Amino acid sequence: MAAKKLSSIGLQIDAIRQSRPGLTLYRVAKNAGMDYSQFYRMMRGSTPARESLLRVCRAMGCNEKEASEIFKLTDYRHPTQAELEEEVQHAA
């Protein structure tokens, strides 16, 4: 993914994703229970809801430090380890 097209949140998410061998953007979106187009817009600059960011962090297996790096770019409260360990609820 071309870095110049990503938002600051998108850059942080992509840096963490790239540190996970074999983890694609499509897989992150799917594991987060998100439509790929919704995820794509989030990576490009639309303001995600806190729950959406939390689901992406869970889908990538972020630890508290990694999640904090993403959440510090927002006005949202940083997630706790317990929140990160909750299972992603997929839409039916």
Give the whole-angstrom CA distance, residue 92 versus residue 79. Answer: 25
Paired tokens of 45: 């600059």
Residue 5 banded pLDDT, cuts 50, 70, 90: confident
φ/ψ region of 22 (left if φ > 0, alpha if ψ in -120 to 50, else beta) reads: left
Contact between 22 and 59 (Cβ < 8 Å) = no
Three-state DSSP class for residue 36 = helix
pLDDT digits 0-9 by tens, 61-88: 999 999 999 999 999 999 999 999 987 5
Q: Kindly state the average pLDDT of the residues 31-50.
A: 93
Q: Which residue has the tokens 């995820």?
A: 39
Q: Which residue has the tokens 């430090």?
A: 65
Residue-range domains of the chain with CATH: 3-76 (1.10.260.40)
